[in-house]
Amino acid sequence: MSGKLLRIGFIGGGKMAQAMAKGFISAGLAKGETIIGSCHPSDLASLQAFKDLGAESITENIPVVEKSEVVIVSVKPHIVPIALGDLKNSGIDAGKLFLSVAMGVTTCQLEQLLPKEARVIRVMPNTPALVQSGASVFVKGTAATDNDANITRKLLQSIGTCEEVMEPWMDAVTALSGSGPAYVYIFIEALADGGVKMGLPRDLAYRLAAQTVMGAGKMVRDTKQHPGVLKDDVTSPGGSTATGLHFLEERGLRSAVIGAIEAATERCKEVAKTGH
């Protein structure tokens, strides 16, 4: 893939597809003209978003497969059988690499929906891919090759971090890193609201809160120290941090976050079983 622009197609053009497409373009792995996306005719915003990238924006799925080397399936889980339904008996060459970001849809289910020559990899990225700070994982299907895994890894590393995992972990991964940005956004908002309550201008409070969360995350990632050790380094005896931590412990912050991951994981399992 070195020096070669990939022809990438998206079946489904929502927020995740747009984030990935923008990330691939920013990283130099594709250009607008090497990307094609299909969207529902009623989704005018997504159709326009792909046009704004310089990509081809259409309302049919078969041309996406015909024109692409890598096809990214990025529709809602219950739409996957409908979106892929046209491909199995279409007679087109579907011997492509298919990456699916659909929550709860297993590699086995994807392989049953696609022509037998298709190679499948299940992916779970997250929306910070838009600013090349995504946290992605992937699982290879039975026909996917090591080269397919390498292509997937390079694509996902261009928009953040990437790790290969076992499929039974995917529901918990979805609950943690897939949904996790939403939890963090609420925390940033709460930090800023606290600052505003104590007299800070709101724009300053948001800037400080966002940078604080980003910096703390980088400390955990880059120093490889246990978060508890880093927390202790900030916490002076009898200080303001110790007082704030005590308040959070009394209000059950840890228990609430753990419970959120558990609840979201169970929801992912439910989607996998029912399709919606």
Binding site per annotation, positions for NADP(+) = 11-16
Given the DSSP bridges, would you call strands 8-11 and 119-124 parallel, antiparallel or unpaired? unpaired
Please check whether residue 128 is in contact with residue 183, taking contact to mean a CB–CB distance below 8 angstroms: no
Residue 269 CA: distances (Å) to CA of 66, 83, 187, 274: 33, 21, 26, 9
Annotated binding site for NADPH: 61
What is the C-alpha to C-alpha distance for residues 153 and 139, in angstroms, rounded to an integer? Answer: 11
Instruction: Specify binding-site residues.
Output: 11-16, 61
Torsion of CA 26, 79, 166, 158, to 10 degrees: 0
Q: How many CA atoms lie within 13 A of 254 on its CB side?
A: 6
